[in-house]
Structure 1
Amino acid sequence: MGLPWIGETYEFYKAQRNNKVFEEFVEPRRTKYGNIFKTRLMGSPTVVVNGAFANRFFLSNEFKLVVSSWPSASVQLMGPNSIMEKQGDQHRRIRGIVSSSLTCNGLESLVPKICSSVEMHLKRHWQGLGTISLFRSTKMLTFSIVFECLLGIRVEHGMLEMFERVLEGVFAIPVDCPGTTFWRAKRARMEIEEMLLNIIRKKRKEIEESPGLEEKEGVLLSGLVVGLIQGEISEAEVVDNVVLLVFAAHDTTSFAIAMVCRMLAHHPRCYARLLQEHMEIKSSKNVGETLTLEDTKKMKYTWQVARESIRLFPPIFGSFRKAIVDIEYEGFIIPKGWKVLWTTYGSHYNEEHFTDPQTFKPSRFDEPIAPYVYVPFGGGPRICAGYQLAKFNILIFLHYMVTLYDWSLIHPDEPITMDPLPFPCHGMPIKISPKL
């Protein structure tokens, strides 16, 4: 269990900082003690579990045996009224409103808008340049897509930086003293809340005065505001869930895109096959004609490449749960109040589930993957509501990138670090040149 209170927190954070939670923290202990072992992290006795069976057991028993458990700083900055903190019926109520806007059918009307955002972004930020920071560029893009396509909010100068200041504090020590990381994050969160309240109240007035407007723009924000008008959700819940969505959607997706490009650069045969898939789609379109939902369904190999890249480099390493009753599991009793940590690596890097797991092999996804084996988007009642949005963002961006530009990595083996989410430490600079 390590030192009193501190436990093995230092070792955990050190491994996390190196983006090697599995290799440097989980795997050595799993090898020594087995797929389930106990430790102490951030003051809490914690049981670490591994494998698809563990994923199924704990993720599917959300609200029954365990509940989501986030650090105090995360709760304060994301907001206590987000679905991250809601339980049972309250969680289902808010998730229903959010999910209805993020289903495949709900996003169909957004495909042309996402295409337009990608084309405009490449024109503004890539055209005429020889090198760009891919990770930074895709962060700007995915941030704009969430705000302008899903929320109907125009991105103003400084907004991305304001949200990034909040992100810096989500795993910080929650000391609200001037100069601390948490203090700066809290100030930024207050600015964001003030901005969103003005936008939400304006949107409410527009919808009340013009019924049907909610169907035309800002589909997700409109859905939340309609719920507010109908008394299904409070104003604070709208604000907190918009904040959570922005963080959940843009940083993780930009990292996923960066890792797909990294693996394509390392595997030229895979890249050639992916490029052919997209050139065939492009050749079927008229000049100026945008992609459709049906076009994204043709990107089967691209999605296999993306899934395999995300398996090897999951944007989220796992998450904590808290036992709300004594739990009998694998011959042990996990006491009520203890934390449970499940990790994506516990099944993604497990030879029982993926043969030669460290090898990049998109063909793994030719066949269906068993439930709770592949879990980059979580599982159970808290499975990521933005899964389809992330998929569309990745597929559409890659289409325009590979059909419009030739590119190569400047640092092919660039280290991946984490603070608090993983990112390529140099921003993944790439050389680019327009295709002739």
Structure 2
Amino acid sequence: MGLPFIGETIEFFKAQRNNRLFDDFVQPRVTKYGKIFKTRLLGSPTVVVNGAEANRFFLSNEFKLVISSWPSSSVQLMGNESIMQKQGEQHRCIRGILASCLHNAGLDALVPKICNSVQLHLDTHWHGQDSLSLYRSTKILTFTIVFECLLGIRVEPGMLNTFERVLEGVFAPAIKFPGSRFSRAKKARQEIEKMLVKVVREKRNEMEFGNEQEGMLLSQLVAGMIRGDITEAEVTDNVVLLVFAAHDTTSFAIAMTFKMLAQHPDCYSLLLQEHVNIMNNKRAGEILTLEDMKKIKYTWQVARESMRLFPPIFGSFRKAVSDIEYEGFTIPKGWKVLWTAFGTHSNPEYFEDPLSFDPRRFEESVPPYVYLPFGGGPRLCAGYQLAKLNIIIFVHYVVTRYDWSLINPNESITMDPLPFPSQGMPIKISPKL
């Protein structure tokens, strides 16, 4: 289990920084000890589990045998009242409000808003350029979509930079001293909270006087606050968490989708034809609809395969709330459990030739708990359908408007704390004639 107290934390974060957590940390220990092994990370004894059955057991037993576990820095910066800290009925209540705008009728209303946001973004940030950072561009876009299309909050200058300062401290040691990552992040979090409290209170006043902005998620959250179902702190903390969960991971998924398309021109040809067919059945200027989303199947297969090879999240920690008997092992109460997406995504037991890129894998359904880019169980990401819309709509408008190519095809991926292309994925672009 490594050195006293810190265990193998140094090796863990070194592998993470190089985006080789599975290859350099997990896989060598699986080879040596088996698919269940123990270690010590961040001062806590930890059991690392791999495989679909382990994923099913631990993710489906959330609130029963295990609870979500995050570092102190993450809790302080995301908020103690956010859904990631809630258990049982409190978790279900908040998740229900979030899901109300991210399923069925809520998605139908979101599609035209996202289409307009993507087109405005391309007109503003891509028009007249011959090269740009794809990753940075998508971060700006997805941040704007979460705030303006989903929440109904106008994005002001500097907001994205403030949120990014918070993210930099999410997995940093929770030590306050001037200039530290955590101190900078904490200060940025206070700025965000001040802004959000003002917006939430203004929204409450509007709604109490009958001026509700129907359908927006912020309105749904504030309505829950007015009913007494949730508190003001729960509203602000969950807005912060939603922004981080919805924009950073989606930006990476989009970037990896384009990386794979650049490396596999045959797949790009099929994808492009899919979007040309959709465009040819529309009048000039007519935007996409939710029905179109259901027809754009191959693009989603490409995106899913990209997320299999490059999952937006590595996995997550759980904490045993009682002694757990699993596969002949006893996991003591209080120990941490880490499941990993790569434990199934890169396993030939579940995906033939797992290191190759093949979107056809997703022509048929995948067994439960094998493919987990959005987590699973009760804590399955509530915004996964929003991510799907963002990816498909962005791809549609880019490939039908622009020719593009990677400037650095061999650009590496790093993690800090989430994965991202180390140089921002610069691309050359030119308008289609």
Same fold by TM (over 0.5)?
A: yes
Shift of 1:214: 3.5
Structure 1's consecutive aligned runs of 4 or more residues displaced over 4 angstroms after TM superposition are none
Distance 1:152 1:328 in 2: 47
Determine the C-alpha separation between the residues in 1 that align with 2:73 and 2:279: 46
Q: Does 1:350 align with 2:373?
A: no
1:423 maps to 2:420 = yes
2:48 maps to a residue whose letter is V
1:328-355 superposed Cα distances (whole Å, 9 cap, x missing partner): 0110000000000000000101111100
Q: Which residue of 1 aligns with 2:49?
A: 49
* 1:215 match: 214
Q: Please give the secondary structure, in 2, of the residue aligned with 1:214.
A: coil
Equivalent residue letter for 2:188: A
| Structure 2 residue 249 is matched with structure 1 residue 252 | yes
Match of residue 291, structure 1, among 288, 292, 295: 288
SS of the residue corresponding to residue 101 of structure 2 reads helix
Report deviation, 1:104. Answer: 3.5
- The TM-score, its normalising length taken from structure 1, stands at 0.99
- Give 1:132's aligned residue: 132
* Shift, 1:31, TM fit: 0.7
Contact kept, 8 Å, 1:214 with 1:223, in 2: the verdict is no
**Residue 99 of structure 1, CA deviation:** 1.1
User: How far, CA to CA, are the matches of 2:395 and 2:104 in structure 1?
Assistant: 19
Q: Tell me the equivalent position of 2:191.
A: 191
Separation in 1, partners of 2:428, 2:276: 21
Give the TM-score of the pair, scaled to structure 2: 0.99
Q: Does 1:272 align with 2:281?
A: no
User: Residues of 1 paired with 2:388 and 2:290: CA distance?
Assistant: 12
CA distance in 1, matches of 2:305, 2:371: 10
- Measure, in 2, the Cα distance between the counterparts of 1:221 and 1:164: 21
The residue type paired with residue 225 of structure 2 is L
Aligned counterparts of 1:202 and 1:400: Cα–Cα separation in 2 = 35
1:416–1:424 Cα contact (<8 Å) kept: yes
Q: Give per-residue Cα distances to partners, 1:309-328, cap 9 Å, x unaligned.
A: 00000010000000000000
Match of 1:3 in 2: 3
Alpha-carbon separation, structure 2, partners of 1:60 and 1:413 = 38
Give the Cα separation in 2 of the matches to 1:322 and 1:85: 12
Counterpart in 2 of 1:178?
A: 178
Q: Distance in 2 between matches of 1:21 and 1:57?
A: 22
**Given residue 359 of structure 1, which amino acid in structure 2 is its aligned partner?**
S
The residue matched to 1:154 in structure 2 has which SS?
Answer: coil
* Residues 210-265 of structure 1: CA deviation (Å, up to 9, x unaligned): 25x2315xx11110000001111000000000000000000000000000000000
Aligned-residue offset at 1:105: 2.9
In structure 2, what is the Cα distance between the partners aligned to 1:61 and 1:21?
A: 25
Contact 1:347 1:374 in 2 (8 A): yes
Counterpart position of 2:206 = 206
Corresponding letter in the other structure for 2:418: L
Aligned counterpart, 2:259:
262
One-letter amino acid matched to 1:361: D
Taking only aligned residues, the RMSD between alpha carbons, in angstroms, comes to 0.7
Provide the rounded CA distance (Å) in 2 between the counterparts of 1:11 and 1:403: 44
Q: Could you tell me how far apart the structure 1 residues matched to 2:310 and 2:37 are?
A: 24
Q: Check whether the contact 1:296–1:392 (CA below 8 A) recurs between aligned residues.
A: yes
Name the % identity. 72
Structure 1's unaligned 5+ residue stretches are none
Q: How many residues matched?
A: 433
Name the residue aligned to 1:402.
399
Q: Deviations over 1:102-129 (max 9, x none)?
A: 1143111110010000000000000000
Give the one of 212, 226, 233 matched to 1:229: 226
Q: Using the TM superposition, name which of 290-299 and 241-250 deviates more.
A: 290-299
User: Aligned AA for 1:430?
Assistant: I
Partner of 1:155: 155
Q: Conserved in 2, the CA contact under 8 Å of 1:104 and 1:388? A: no
Alignment of 1:322-361 (within 5 A): 322-361=319-358
* Superposition deviation, residue 84 in structure 1: 0.3
SS of the aligned residue for 2:246 comes to helix
Q: Is the 8 A contact 1:277 1:301 kept in 2?
A: yes
Shift of 1:288: 1.1
8 Å contact from structure 1 (residues 59, 381) kept in 2: yes
Letter in 2 for 1:376: P
Provide the rounded CA distance (Å) in 1 between the counterparts of 2:106 and 2:35.
Answer: 40
Matches for 1:310-389 after TM superposition, within 5 Å: 310-389=307-386
Shift of 1:39: 0.4
Distance across 1 between alignment mates of 2:430 and 2:248: 26
Q: Deviations over 1:39-70 (max 9, x none)?
A: 00000000000000000000000010000000
Counterpart residue number, 2:32:
32
Match of 1:111 in 2: 111
